[in-house]
């Protein structure tokens, strides 16, 4: 991932970088990997995430 610094504006470049990283899901992944997650909990979380994605996709299609 690459972010260009324009006019030595590091604050803006950092903001853009953080935004890109959060959209890519890196922060979420790091948070999940901080502690052990039991397989049953992982399976349940993945099912909930899949339902959320499906509902979001359906809202986009109908709206």
Rounded distance between C-alpha atoms, residue 40 and residue 50, angstroms? 15
Q: What is the pLDDT of residue 1?
A: 84
Collapsed DSSP state (helix, strand, coil) of residue 61: helix
Two structure tokens written together for 9: 């504006």
Q: What is the tens place of the pLDDT at every residue in 21-52?
A: 999 999 999 999 999 999 999 999 999 999 99
Q: What is the 3-state secondary structure (H, E, C) of the chain?
A: CCCCCCCCCHHHHHHHHHHHHHHHCHHHHHHHHCCCCCHHHHHHHHHHHHHHHHHHHHHHHHC
What's the pLDDT band for 62 if we cut at 50, 70, 90? confident
Residue 25 is given by DSSP the state T
């Amino acid at each position: 991932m690459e972010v260009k610094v324009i006019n030595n504006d590091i604050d803006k470049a950092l903001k853009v970088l953080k935004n890109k990283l959060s959209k890519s899901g890196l922060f979420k992944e790091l948070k999940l990997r901080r502690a052990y997650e039991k397989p049953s909990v992982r399976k349940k979380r993945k099912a909930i995430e899949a339902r959320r994605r499906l509902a979001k996709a359906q809202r986009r299609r109908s709206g």
